[in-house]
Homo-oligomer: A and B are copies of this chain.
Amino acid sequence: MEKALLGVRVIDLTRVLAGPFCTMILGDLGADVIKIEAPEGDESRNYGPFVKGESAYFMSINRNKRSVVLNLKEPKGVEIFKKLVQKADVLVENFRPGTTAKLGISYEDLQPLNPRLIYASCSGFGQTGPYRLRPAYDIIIQAMGGIMSITGHPGGEPTRVGASIADITAALFTVIGILAALAERERSGRGQYIDISMLDCQVAILENAIVRYSTGGEVPKPIGNRHPSITPFTALRTQDGYVIIAVGNDNLWRRFCQAIKREDLIDDPRFKTNPLRTQNWEELYAILRSVFSQYTTAEALAIIEAAGVPCGPLQDISQVFHDPQIRHRDMIVPVEHPVAGVVWMAGTPLKLSRTPGNITKPAPTLGQHTYEVLQEIGYSEAELQELEAQGVITPAQKKSK
């Protein structure tokens, strides 16, 4: 299968989640991603769950990459690194701002060596501004970026999104920045610097919350699972789970009431129109909770779907894992790892007809490709053995856990 980013070489200095998720997508699209690790390895190699001593977490976001162990605290390590960069199209890093400059590998250091280089930095707060040097974790960015203040149930605690959405949206925007810069380079022949901030990205995804505040002065609050202006539109508990219903207009409302055999509600003066239903949502949801408590999830879905009303079950991760649509779309896939064996992980949603995203190799063991990659750029076996003896590089067999 042809690859979308065939021939694009990425030098990947990233660790943990935001950066690795970005370079994983580039790898899924066919770029040659060379992950440069310090001798101790990406710290997420130590994050569980483990399979035969290898982190399944690391595996799931580092497939399609090669691992080179390079000690960037040694001048010879930096020298090798610069040779790699000269033959690369893209560099991605997610250190705290200032770290690459200390190592002598900032954009300013590298751009003269390779003016076509696209250099992307993904950090908590960005490279500029008063908070730029603050340490960031997903939960800190979710909290400062506002999404926690609008997630959760009315009157309850603010709630972190259960996946690391601050890291992941930053990863996606970093990919977008890189691909846009690649498109631009086709015209100009020049690379550029990309400065992605996790906090910026959280603000970018707040959706209607910003304009609700900026135009009306309303500070949006968590409203649980209901919709601010469409009713009924929520999660309702059944005997064995939850069903989501989305009754988007008055025509669907009529059909929904017929389906649940509550025709009496259709023209009830409290619920006759969507604005009325939204105004009287508490009364309506109390009625619907009692109705749905008499169904199983499967029964409720069968009735509501037959009426043509948008609905769906709340699925836990085991249900997601076995869902026929998700399996049909190859979104849960087995990947064979040389040490751990087969590990099932999320696939790629990038379904391009001629050049689809694809998992062609498992995550590398630490330093698995040190010799291979450095030989590609001209180092001889003897030179590499000497560098190894000097502690500048590490091959797989010496350090893999």
Binding site for B on A (CB under 8 A): 2, 4-8, 17, 25, 29, 47-51, 56-57, 59-61, 125-126, 128-132, 134-137, 139-141, 143-153, 156-165, 168-170, 172-173, 175-177, 179-184, 186-188, 190, 192-197, 199-201, 203-216, 219-225, 227, 229, 233-235, 242, 244, 246, 248, 305, 310-321, 323-326, 328-329, 331-332, 343-355
Given the known interface contacts A157-B235, A201-B349, A235-B157, the answer about A49 and B310 at a Cβ–Cβ threshold of 8 Å is: no
Residue contact A355 to B317, C-beta cutoff 8 Å = no
A163 (CB) vs chain B CBs: closest residue: B207
Given the known interface contacts A350-B173, A352-B180, the answer about A210 and B317 at a Cβ–Cβ threshold of 8 Å is: yes
The answer, among B29, B49, B128, for a CB contact under 8 Å with A211, is: B49
Interface of A is mostly: mixed
Residue contact B163 to A150, C-beta cutoff 8 Å = yes
A340 (CB) vs chain B CBs: closest residue: B215
The answer, among B187, B222, B346, for a CB contact under 8 Å with A204, is: B346
Expressed in whole angstroms, the Cα–Cα distance for A172 and B201 within the complex equals: 11
Copies of this protein, total: 2
A172 contact set on B, CB distance < 8 A:
169, 172-173, 176
Given contacts A60-B210, A140-B311, A160-B225, 4 further A-B contacts (CB under 8 A): A140-B246, A150-B162, A157-B225, A160-B224
Expressed in whole angstroms, the Cα–Cα distance for A119 and B215 within the complex equals: 35
The answer, among B215, B310, B313, for a CB contact under 8 Å with A343, is: B215
A141 to chain B, nearest CB (A): 8
A59 contact set on B, CB distance < 8 A:
211
Residue contact B146 to A316, C-beta cutoff 8 Å = yes
- Of A128, A197, A208, the most chain B CB neighbours within 10 A belong to A208
A162 contact set on B, CB distance < 8 A:
147, 149-152, 209, 220, 222-223
Residue contact A173 to B349, C-beta cutoff 8 Å = yes
Residue contact A146 to B315, C-beta cutoff 8 Å = yes
Task: Sort A-B residue pairs by CB-CB distance and give the 10 closest, nearest first.
Answer: A150-B162, A179-B179, A200-B349, A129-B328, A151-B162, A214-B344, A193-B353, A146-B320, A135-B310, A140-B312
Expressed in whole angstroms, the Cα–Cα distance for A162 and B159 within the complex equals: 9
Residue contact A346 to B190, C-beta cutoff 8 Å = no
A60 contact set on B, CB distance < 8 A:
208, 210-211
A197 contact set on B, CB distance < 8 A:
329, 349, 351
A168 (CB) vs chain B CBs: closest residue: B205
Expressed in whole angstroms, the Cα–Cα distance for A193 and B353 within the complex equals: 5
A207 contact set on B, CB distance < 8 A:
17, 61, 163-164, 168
Residue contact B214 to A343, C-beta cutoff 8 Å = yes
Residue contact A235 to B350, C-beta cutoff 8 Å = no
A328 contact set on B, CB distance < 8 A:
128-130
Residue contact A211 to B57, C-beta cutoff 8 Å = yes
Given the known interface contacts A130-B324, A318-B213, A346-B203, the answer about A139 and B235 at a Cβ–Cβ threshold of 8 Å is: yes
- Of A160, A221, A233, A323, the most chain B CB neighbours within 10 A belong to A160
Expressed in whole angstroms, the Cα–Cα distance for A137 and B311 within the complex equals: 9
A321 to chain B, nearest CB (A): 6
Expressed in whole angstroms, the Cα–Cα distance for A187 and B310 within the complex equals: 42
A326 contact set on B, CB distance < 8 A:
199-200, 203
